[in-house]
Amino acid sequence: MESSSPVALITGASRGIGRGIALELAGAGYDIVVNYTTRPEAAAETAHGVEERGRRVLIARADVASREDRESMIAETREAFGRIDVLVNNAALSSLVRVDILDAPEESFDRVLAVNLKGPFFLTQAVGRWMVEIRKRDRARRLHIVNISSISEYTASVLRGDYCVAKAGLGMLTQLFADSLAPHSICVNEVRPGIIATDMTAGVKEKYDRLIAEGLTPLRRWGQPEDVARAVRALVGGDFDFTTGAAIDVDGGFHIRRL
């Protein structure tokens, strides 16, 4: 039976930015699919937060790089809710090792590209097909896909080149699927976070504390997962239904070219 509430599937939702998005959308009235790969206890914490906001939740363990896992997660979502209204491609890995690209190992490249680019590509393809089915039955339903990219999409970091390449590819993925799905009134956009306080950046906190204090970003503070989450909520909430293929910078002004 189809849920009476809109449903959002968020990959990598057990912690960090993904958790922030899950809780924000739950607060906005969405039932949530919490995807995770490791740390089931963290996924359970996110799920508890969703339930505290009065929404239904499904915890779905799936490695987005795996076709079988993606198919299983979509099947679980169909069974639990019978619908999907929002897909947020958030799951991502940083480089397995931080070394100059002249020494970067192929194993890291393969894994990072598989999770950060291949996974979102084929998950968007599968969910996009499902959304097209939904659109044929319901012309009024609001359907959105949001990709969480990064300032690394356009900012070179030679110590984690595979991550930068994957995020740059995610920007083009947004453009491609926005074009493909536009005839079905399905919007595809991206949010580009800057320096956000998460587990991924915890190891470089001292470095970025200094750089932010010195003016790396015009707004001299760390970004928080909630900053990104509010941007996602705005994109899917109805105010941007004539916007597709766009990128929203949530980076404290990092993208401004300054002298």
Tokens coding 178:
């926005």
Name residue, tokens 């057990």: 14
Q: Which residues contact 65 (CB under 8 A, 6 or more apart)?
A: 111, 114, 115, 118, 119
Beta-bridge partner residues of 192: 249
Number of CB atoms found within 10 A of residue 137's CB: 9
pLDDT digits (tens, 9 = 90+) for 161-179: 999 999 999 999 999 999 9
Alpha carbons 71 and 31: distance in angstroms, whole number: 20
Which of 30, 36, 154, 163 is catalytic? The answer is 163
In the predicted structure, residue 241 carries a pLDDT above the cut 90: yes
pLDDT tier, 203 (very low <50, low <70, confident <90, very high otherwise) = confident
Question: Does the pLDDT value for residue 201 go beyond 90?
Answer: no
Instruction: Determine whether 163 is an active site residue.
Output: yes
The two three-digit tokens of residue 93, written as one number? 């890995």
pLDDT bin (cut points 50, 70, 90) of residue 144 is very high
pLDDT given at position 200 = 81
Are 124 and 86 contacting, i.e. CB atoms less than 8 angstroms apart?
no
d(CA 92, CA 114): 10
Which among 133, 127, 37, 120 has a CA at the least distance from the CA of 86?
Answer: 127
Q: What is the pLDDT of residue 1?
A: 72
Q: What is the pTM of this model?
A: 0.97
Amino acid sitting at position 59: I
- Rounded average pLDDT over 15-42: 97
Residue 199 pLDDT: 84
Tokens of 257: 């070219």
Q: Rg of the Cα trace of the chain?
A: 18
Statement: 7-250 belongs to CATH 1.10.510.10: no
pLDDT, tens digit, for every residue of 48-82? 999 999 999 999 999 999 999 999 999 999 999 99
Looking at residue 195, what is its pLDDT? Answer: 96
- Contact of 70 with 89, CB cutoff 8 Å: no
In angstroms, the CA 49 to CA 203 distance is 26
Domain ranges of the chain: 7-250
